Amino acid sequence: MVSRSGEERAAQVAGDEGARGRSGVRPSATEGMSGEERAAQVAGDEGARGRSGVRPSATEGMSGEERGDGGARPRVVLIGPPGAGKSTVGRLLAERWGLDLVDTDAEVESATGRTISDIFVEDGEPAFRALEVEAVRAAVRRPGVLALGGGAPMQEPVQELIADLPVVLLEVGIADASPRIGFDRSRPLLSVNPRAQWSRLMEQRRPTYARLADVVVDTSGRSADDVATAVAAALEDGAP
């Protein structure tokens, strides 16, 4: 874990660039962008991203009743690179807490009856990203542990949907990610030149991951069980 004292965490939460504002309201990701940049961002072109901030959540500060969801929300949202262990640690946390694991990749697969790879190959990435947003939209109204796919937090609607939830970034470097995921074909974005592709994607994504995270837990050289313990401890320690 990048262990943060309550003060450091508060600093992160209050920071101008990299976290929510003092009011808890995050600035718009598209503020100040040209129409083209905005369109590229919505369409999933990560190259056009990198501006700071995301839109304030429409539901931030609302009661469960006002949101119309009875107050159900995930206890934690796990984000991070492929191979960070989001799905695995998510399952361990769900078991510990007696909650459901909601994994957006699994939700997309069960909703469509198709694998992520098939959706990418047959319909293209934008089709997958649209399904992913809908999976997150449904998931944020459910109690449980929410594990996102690695690319989900790059989508602006997803950033809005998770804006007022406790977000934990699971960090991992290429050295640990590589043996973990084996760079097989189940992750279509990594099917060609996987190590270079992983590194390129992470270079683009890291600033966004960091900005969205309330807590960062380093998973390198640690078992999934240790990581789950660190996440639970950080949350019990007063993270939002």
Ligand X SMILES: Nc1ncnc2c1ncn2[C@@H]1O[C@H](COP(=O)(O)OP(=O)(O)O)[C@@H](O)[C@H]1O
Q: Which residues bind ligand X (CB under 6 A)?
A: 80, 82-88, 150, 180-181, 219, 222-224, 227
189 binds, among ligand X, ligand S3P, Mg ion, none (CB under 5 to 8 A by kind): ligand S3P
157 binds, among ligand S3P, Mg ion, ligand X, none (CB under 5 to 8 A by kind): none
In angstroms, the CA 54 to CA 28 distance is 4
Site of interaction with Mg ion (CB under 5 A): 86-87
Tell me if 95 sits within 8 A of 139, measured CB to CB.
no
**Nearest distance, CB of residue 78 and ligand S3P, angstroms:** 9
For residue 136, give the nearest of 58, 81, 77, 89 by alpha carbon.
77
Assign residue 229 a region: left if phi > 0, alpha if psi is -120 to 50, beta otherwise? alpha
Residues 6+ apart with CB under 8 A from 230: 1, 217, 222
Of 44 and 83, which has the nearer Cβ to Mg ion? Answer: 83
Total residues in contact with ligand S3P, by rule CB under 6 A:
11
Q: Site map for ligand S3P, 96-135, x if CB under 6 A?
A: ---------x----------x-------------------
Of 59 and 87, which has the nearer Cβ to ligand S3P? Answer: 87
Tell me if 144 sits within 8 A of 75, measured CB to CB.
yes
Report residue 70 CA to chain centroid gap: 23
The annotation places the binding site for Mg(2+) at 87
